[in-house]
């Protein structure tokens, strides 16, 4: 049977286990402002927010009038959503989430585990269907060397979604040691990915030399063209 509760976990223990419809408050708390999940940091409001369990997702309310919160997907390629001040009942789509709050020295927060999401089965298109076939997009060959270069580009972001690292060509050559890649070879694969396979476009006014590599990382991770499972391809 699938788990139907929302678990909230701090660094030390499970802080709450919510059934659909139940709520839990979080914040620094005090004697006259009790909270269910204590975030012991002087920069966090006494009553910072509230979480409500639904079915296979949850809602968050930001009770701070000044601070924006961030909810990050630790399993995604840098996916996150912002919760602006006084935003009430915002749905969170991630199965596993890290709620990040501004703190006295950086950030603090906790994890939220939603019930496993429900997925349907793909419908088989009848051979008698009329009309043109749907055109494929992003046709990537996972056995090709260009895909290996793409995985190496995305590696840092897959390990840490908040990473801003864009590997340089020499770093890619070093990371893929043993695959006999030269500077011109890596540049060819990057250009081939950018122009032919993923068709990324240079942002207006961007004069940075790494725009192609940065755009490839963003697109590949946004559409799950590269995932954690692909890291096994790296040496």
What's the pLDDT at 1? 41
Which tokens belong to 53?
């369990």
Q: Please tell me the total count of domains within the chain.
A: 2
Boundary (domain end) residue, out of 97, 113, 129: 113
32: domain CATH number is 2.60.200.20
Is there a domain that residue 124 lies in? no
DSSP string across the chain = ----SEEEE-SSSEEEEEPTT-EEEEES--SSS--SEE---TTS-SS-EEEEE-SSSEEEEE--SS--EEEE-TTSSS-EEEE-TT--SEEE--SEEEEEEEETTEEEEEEEEPPPPP--PPPPPPTT--SPPPPP-S---TTSHHHHHHHHHHHHHHH-TT------HHHHHHHTTTS---HHHHHHHHHHIIIIIS---PPTT---TTHHHHHHHHHHHHTTSS-GGGGGG--
Provide the residue range defining the domain that includes 224: 145-233
pLDDT in tens, 165-216: 999 999 999 999 989 899 999 999 999 999 999 998 877 665 567 899 999 9
Average pLDDT, the chain: 88
What's the pLDDT at 77? 65
Residues 76 and 149 in one domain: no
What's the pLDDT at 208? 66
Residues 35 and 102 in one domain: yes
Residues 109 and 155 in one domain: no
Is there a domain that residue 139 lies in? no
Using CA atoms, how far apart are residues 55 and 148, in angstroms rounded to an integer? 39
What's CA 224's distance to the chain center, in Å? 10
* Ranges in the chain, pLDDT < 50: 1, 125-126
Residues 106 and 169 in one domain: no
pTM of the complete model: 0.68
What's the pLDDT at 203? 74
Is there a domain that residue 126 lies in? no
What's the pLDDT at 130? 64
Is there a domain that residue 71 lies in? yes
Residues 149 and 101 in one domain: no
Residues 97 and 172 in one domain: no
Q: Taking the alpha carbons of 141, 144, 150, 152 in that order, is the dihedral positive or negative?
A: positive
């Amino acid at each position: 049977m699938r788990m139907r509760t929302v678990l909230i976990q701090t660094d030390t223990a499970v802080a709450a286990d919510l059934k659909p419809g139940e709520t839990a408050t979080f914040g620094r708390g005090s004697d006259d402002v009790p909270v269910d999940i204590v975030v012991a940091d002087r920069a966090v409001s006494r009553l910072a927010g509230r979480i409500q369990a639904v079915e296979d997702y949850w809602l968050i309310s930001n009770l701070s009038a000044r601070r924006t919160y961030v909810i990050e997907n630790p399993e995604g390629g840098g996916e996150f959503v912002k919760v602006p001040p006084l935003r009430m009942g915002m749905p969170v789509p991630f199965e596993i989430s890290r709620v990040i709050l501004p703190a006295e020295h950086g950030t603090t927060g906790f994890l939220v585990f939603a019930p496993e999401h429900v997925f349907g089965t793909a419908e088989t298109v009848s051979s008698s269907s009329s009309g043109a076939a749907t055109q494929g997009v992003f046709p990537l060959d996972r056995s090709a060397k260009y895909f290996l270069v793409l995985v190496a580009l995305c590696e840092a972001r897959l390990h840490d979604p908040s990473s801003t690292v864009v590997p340089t060509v020499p770093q890619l050559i070093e990371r893929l040691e043993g695959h006999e890649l030269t500077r011109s070879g890596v540049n060819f694969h990057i250009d081939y990915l950018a122009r032919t396979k993923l068709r990324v476009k240079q942002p207006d006014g961007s004069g940075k030399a790494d725009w192609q590599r940065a755009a490839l990382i963003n697109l590949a991770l946004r559409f799950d063209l590269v995932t954690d499972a692909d890291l096994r391809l790296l040496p």
